[in-house]
Structure 1
Amino acid sequence: MTEKRYHHGDLRAALIAAAEADLAERGVEAFSLRQVAKRAGVSHAAPAHHFGDADGLLTALAVEGFHRFLSAQAAREATAAPDPRSQLAAAGLGYIDFALASPALFRLLFGSNRPDFANPDLAAASSAAYAHLEAQVTAAGGSLADIAAVWSLAHGLADLIAAGRLTSLQGLSPPERDTALAALLARAFPGV
């Protein structure tokens, strides 16, 4: 069997893609630069050259993850009614969509200490995600406490669903599931 070799294109992007595949397959605990290099078909020194160490590569992957997280929310928001409450529910559904589509990346963003959140790129990406939440809750008439409530509920639902623990939603069609989830998300602050 011949090992696939990387020969052209954007090596940095190829390494990030290989890192995501390795993360999804092996988890953050077993993540290593050597495995990523092997998956990308490059020397084991190539990832270190670009990212320094495994945590540096996970940091770069987390930056990409936050961009995709916001894109998942934007995709849902684009199809929702324009009122603030509907947009907020849509963002919550996008949050859940992201967790279901990329559970390992979701855990990296929200449950791992491996990425360096002091890194300027990651700090900017994670701050943009929080600013989006803050702006939506504020537009819907919510307070700082409501921001925490909405985030906690959306995150909790996403985590439970991605882990297969929210069994009451199993068996529902996608539109029925979305309706049920939007109703749950609306409970975060019913007075708005």
Structure 2
Amino acid sequence: MPAETDERYHHGNLRAALLAAAEQTARESGVDALSLRDLARQVGVSHAAPRRHFPDRQSLLDALAVNGFQRIDTELRAAVARAGDDFVARLKALTQTYTRFATRDAALLELMFSRKHGENADVFLAAAQPSFTLLEDLLQEGQVQGVLREGPIDQIGIVLFATMHGIAAMTNGHLAPPDLLEGLANTAVEQFVRGAGRA
């Protein structure tokens, strides 16, 4: 292994490199295929090197879940910002981005949500909260603009989230063709807005 590669990883990039490799493995082969030994080989370091950041496989999975929540939040916020000021366009951008993430990284998403109900759940709930806050803020924005009728944001948000999650689950289960994903997300938002809109 080249000295400069070893030096680079040993000075702060190894953790990020391992998480990136772990995401790729989870995407291609599932979470069960993850092992610290294999990840070390993928990034070109010794078998012992990953334990500087992840003492065991579970600590790797925990970090991967937290990183997943941070990444989806970053992607959602960027998509909403790019969509401009129109509420419906912003909501479509959020829905499209979530469903793309949930189909591209289905195994990672399953890990993320399973960790919210396990040991150290508070850590994962805190990591997930920014994305849920973004959705709630966006729905409040719709209410303020008069696009959506008044009502409890948490209930309205659960209905929309369940719809997004359902579209992703149907796509992952081969019950809906992947090429329909964006259209289904847009249709879901349009129907949601009509149903939750002002009379």
TM-score norm. by structure 1 comes to 0.77
Aligned residue type for 1:153: T
Q: Contact 1:55–1:114 at 8 Å: present in 2 too?
A: no
CA spacing shift, 1:164–1:108, aligned 2, 3 Å = same
Q: Which protein is richer in helix relative to its size?
A: 2
- Name the counterpart of 1:158: 168
Aligned residue type for 1:126: A
- 1:140 aligned counterpart, secondary structure: helix
- Name the counterpart of 1:136: 138
Deviations 1:10-59 (A, max 9, x none): 11111111211222233112322222222222232222331222121122
CA spacing shift, 1:113–1:73, aligned 2, 3 Å = closer
- Name the counterpart of 2:128: 126
Percent identity over the alignment is 32
Alignment length, in residue pairs? Answer: 183
- Name the counterpart of 2:58: 55
How big is the alpha-carbon RMSD for the aligned residues of Structure 1 and Structure 2?
3.0
- Choose which of 157, 177, 183 in structure 2 pairs with 1:147: 157
CA spacing shift, 1:115–1:21, aligned 2, 3 Å = farther
CA spacing shift, 1:33–1:123, aligned 2, 3 Å = same
| Structure 2 unaligned spans of 5+ | 144-150
2 CA distance for matches of 1:133 and 1:15? 30
Deviations 1:128-172 (A, max 9, x none): 1111122222322352211110110111112322443213x64x6
Instruction: Spell out the pairing of 1:1-192 with structure 2 (5 A cutoff).
Output: 6-7=5-6, 8-9=8-9, 10-111=13-114, 118=121, 120=123, 122-141=124-143, 142-143=151-152, 144-167=154-177, 170=179, 178-188=182-192, 190-192=195-197
Which stretch shows the higher mean deviation, 92-101 or 79-88?
A: 79-88
TM-score norm. by structure 2 comes to 0.75
Deviations 1:42-99 (A, max 9, x none): 2322223312221211222222222221232233323425233332222111101222
